[in-house]
Amino acid sequence: MTLEDFSRQWFNQLDAPTARTLERALEGHDITTAEAEALLTVRGRELLALLLVADELRRRTVGEVVTYVVVQNINFTNICTMRCRFCAFSRLPSDPQGYCMTPSEVAECAAGAAQAGASEICLQGGIHPKLYLYDYCALLRAIKQRAPQLHLHAFSPFEVWQAARHSGRSVEDTLKALRDAGLDSMPGTAAEILDDEVRPRLAPNKLSASQWVEVITAAHRLGIPTTATILYGHIETPRHQAAHLALLRQIQQQTGGFTEFIPLSFVHQNTPLYRGGEARPGATGLEDARIYAVARLMFQHVIPNIQVSWVKLGAKFAQFCLNAGANDFGGTLFSESISRSAGAVHGEYMPEQEFHRLIRDLGRIPARRSTTYDLLEVFDGVSAGV
């Protein structure tokens, strides 16, 4: 049997619905929510075929460059009263382990990151009951005064929503104030699963799916780009995952404001949701691979960049997922507290040279990027240390 004969026989053994969906995707058609749900359950030959198609669509969309960003994460407070059941980071105001950094402390940390070569600060914290819009603006201004060259990627939609409520302002006015204080872009976190059947079990005190959409679309209207995320591997089903992806695609078709999509695998060990027996112990490796691949098929025309979360997956499996439709390795981070508090064991910093090694091992080209995916330096040489 020749390789061509083997390939033909192998693909002929795919189940017919999967084969039709993959063929339609390769022809450039958008897959439906129902097709995405079905793909999120495939195994065996069907899974391998899905990965091959996702990798091919990645190649057509963004080529062979794998990007990363040099970023400092600053989790400026862990004080939060929301009691989200998937979170092990937050502390109540009375907890002696609670902290809240001052604007000068945050600015000092950011200035150190800029000296070390960072181009971005990712600034997020808990929902502190005594922080108002003025306080969030003060953090941004302090950083811009010390290190004006840094891109400020700050505040989840939930933080924006709470700042608006605390200050008696509209969401749009709140975003304008943050933008004027130095906000450049926003993380699209706090999305979890955008389904109000699931959200009350994850975070009963959090903003609803429609409120999350309201903040994100308002940011996009004001020219503030955001990421898009999903938190999976807990109590949701493939139906919820597929509907979440479809909603993100719809938003992007309307606004064009998402810079990238970041699947976030649930880190379960220390969370109340898992310890209470309600959640499964995180996603399996197949679940991880499927969601990256299906995302590439869902977003092939609207969101070119799909990022692996090496903190949650580990560097080796994150590298593998770059063969499943992803094209971005995330950030160096320097410091990261939220995943680590939940039980992540994969570290909080990855040097650029390690990104280069893992990317070159794939036969791909490493490149340092900006937050909004401008290429800052492409490392297409092979000399040591580049």
Say whether pLDDT at 110 is over 70.
Answer: yes
- Cα distances from 35 to residues 24, 243, 291, 294, 324, in angstroms, run 11, 11, 13, 9, 18
The fraction of the chain above a pLDDT of 90, given in percent, is 71
Say whether pLDDT at 383 is over 70.
Answer: no
Which of 83-87, 134-138, 141-145 bottoms out in mean pLDDT, i.e. has the lowest? 83-87
Q: How many other CB atoms sit within 10 Å of the CB of residue 203?
A: 19
Question: Taking the domains of the chain in order of start, what are their residue ranges?
Answer: 3-59, 63-378
Q: H or E stretch including 375?
A: strand 375-378
Residue 179: what pLDDT?
A: 98
Say whether pLDDT at 341 is over 70.
Answer: no
Residue 245: what pLDDT?
A: 98
pTM of this prediction? Answer: 0.91
Judge contact between 309 and 260, C-beta under 8 A.
Answer: no
Summarised one tens digit per residue, pLDDT across range 158-185 is 999 999 998 899 999 999 999 999 999 9
Structure tokens given for 250: 């719809």
Which of 55-59, 77-81, 317-321 bottoms out in mean pLDDT, i.e. has the lowest? 77-81
Looking at 3.40.50.2300, 3.10.20.340, 3.30.470.20, 3.20.20.70, the CATH number of the domain 63-378 comes to 3.20.20.70
What's the rounded mean pLDDT across residues 213-238?
96
Higher pLDDT, 323 or 8: 323
Residue 267: what pLDDT?
A: 82
Q: How many other CB atoms sit within 10 Å of the CB of residue 344?
A: 21
pLDDT band at 338 (very low <50, low <70, confident <90, very high): very low
pLDDT band at 80 (very low <50, low <70, confident <90, very high): confident
Instruction: Give the neighbor-by-neighbor strand order of the sheet with 375-378.
Output: 328-331, 65-69, 365-369, 375-378
Residue 344: what pLDDT?
A: 41
pLDDT band at 6 (very low <50, low <70, confident <90, very high): low
What's the rounded mean pLDDT across residues 50-65?
97
